[in-house]
Amino acid sequence: MKKLVVILYRGCLLMLGLCLHLSCGKDTGNDRDAAQNDFISAMQDEAYLGDAKSTLQVGGSDALPSLSGTSSLNVDKIYGDSVTVAVIVNLPKGDGFTLGIPGKQQGKNWNATFKGGTFSIKENGKMEGKVSDGNKEFTWDGYLSNDSAILTIRMKYLIADGNIPASSILTTKMTLNRAQSDTQDNMTNCNNVLWETRPVFNLYNGGVDLIRVPICHS
């Protein structure tokens, strides 16, 4: 009789442990689903790739002829809710620019706060903001969806930079589509897109970060 009681007791403990295990597994799954419903999880797997057209208005004169090239937008350097949005613009003859914008997610929203302003990507896809670093004033305006993006970045020279006089404005318009794989043809005249680590200008501290970005290999 005593042996039977011990066996039944052990069986109850086994069933209790199994129930707790199943319960914990179910709750963990729900927590995981909730955690993935945010800006980073929506952005980190694929980049946005496409065209770029840049126009420079020198001082108060008329704009110079536009230059066409390629562009990309992706995220990297993810630490908790902190994440950097990287913008790469490649123009002919090695021209173009890079921007790494460190910010934080708040649910499906992303914000980057600087002494000279803010950038944001709202849950509804609206991209807006203006930031001044003392030498240049950056503004961006656009819209981001799950499969495409349009973005205009304006860079105003507050002081002269080489042959570019103060008050000049570089306007770059980007038309982007969401990549489906590392090798899909998503850039103009590009047969192979691979992820590589490249130096990117950090808009927050004025330095350079090594950031994983999509690179076209024709």
pLDDT of 102 above 70: yes
What's the pLDDT score for residue 9?
40
Query: What is the residue extent of each domain of the chain?
Result: 39-216
Q: Name which of 79-83, 94-98, 100-104 the model is least confident about.
A: 94-98
Quick one: pLDDT at residue 18? Answer: 36
Superfamily grouping for domain 39-216: Calycin beta-barrel core domain (2.40.128.20)
Condensed to tens digits (0 to 9), the pLDDT of residues 40-92 reads: 999 987 899 999 999 999 987 888 999 999 999 999 999 999 999 999 999 99
**What digits encode the pLDDT tens for the residues 169-218?**
999 999 999 876 443 444 555 667 889 999 999 999 989 999 999 887 76
Nearest-Å Rg of the Cα atoms of the chain is: 24
Q: Does 35 score more than 90 pLDDT?
A: no
Global pTM reads: 0.78
Residue 158: pLDDT band (50, 70, 90) is: very high
